[in-house]
Structure 1
């Protein structure tokens, strides 16, 4: 089972900064209740995969939610500030939250790697409002995550009323069937790891997918800032496992360059 505390952003926060200045837990929690957006990233040796995509995500959401530009140096400055001079590896989140003006909050927690072994998933009827925005502090997704964990699953597949899969509660879903990489054709957050996998040199297609379709596919996987995770079953139905296909996916992902923060 995946540790849902990490899944829901409840890992132990080592430090936090607001507008580049260190804050205590109470100040951070006060801001946590605010309206905003964020991005989650893994830092290794003070480098980040897809750094430009993370900055672009924050800038686009900031224009949409706050009608304001977010300078790249402000984003990078927040990450550097929360890492300080000593942290080289960490799980970092950069939030922009409402206040007297939009405030940039960054948190650092211990680094997280993709769990090994196939994940179990179950469909849940739920569609996020403004699905393309990575929204801060989503009660609904946290609740769904806790409920499916209690039922013995690692992740929820969010679906429409008629069963179309859009995404996981904090992941994107993909399926690699032979030579074709499939993604759901539904409203979703266009995740950073998904965008990096879309650069893989194989035919790719957006297609309506339902839970009943998954057992017929060659390999189903989830992806987020942790990396790539194979899906082993949906409800009680086992899914095919193809080590060669997962190796191809991992080889592409592992070859993505890490962009320096300094």
Structure 2
């Protein structure tokens, strides 16, 4: 741990906080902290103040924050349920205690280390899982876009073929009417079920939550933005026509 991080972490730890989860952000990183108390027969006031912190160097979503909070809370509950756990924090003063107490100190210091290790790996695993879920959501929505584009392309092809081959009045052509109706339904479904989801993902991408340097994903994003622009224009025109009617 660098000196700058150590100094900032010390500043955070020396602040008086209620039992809670809180975040302190800096330019290069952020601290995710959970502050709580445990009972102690050796501390003044019979309470030890404990704070567990994780340093993160990238943006995280509220869902990940919530998951990490849950992991921290379980860690605090474990600590609070062990009436002798406080002894593990006195390892540096172990020479001042008798043999029985020394054994308690060593045992609980190792227990604290093991639990912190579990906390660390649990946080990494939960963060990885949530990021994968977000990525899958993005891919699923992109797939939905392309499937909708294929359906729209089919309907447009049918309309073009009918225009070229039909000898009857195009306004009364049932095939064209049916295809236009299908196109409107596709646009409506995209507008109702997709634009809102894409807006959320776009915000996350702007904040660096789902950033990627993959060229194919950049191309997908550009095509998605173009489609959204077209859809919004189509929906606006459709709404104006409905209002006139």
TM-score bracket for the superposition, by shorter chain length: under 0.3
TM-score of the two chains, using structure 2 as the length reference = 0.23
Question: Which structure has the larger Rg?
Answer: 2
The structure with the greater share of residues assigned to helix is: 2
The structure with the greater share of residues assigned to strand is: 1
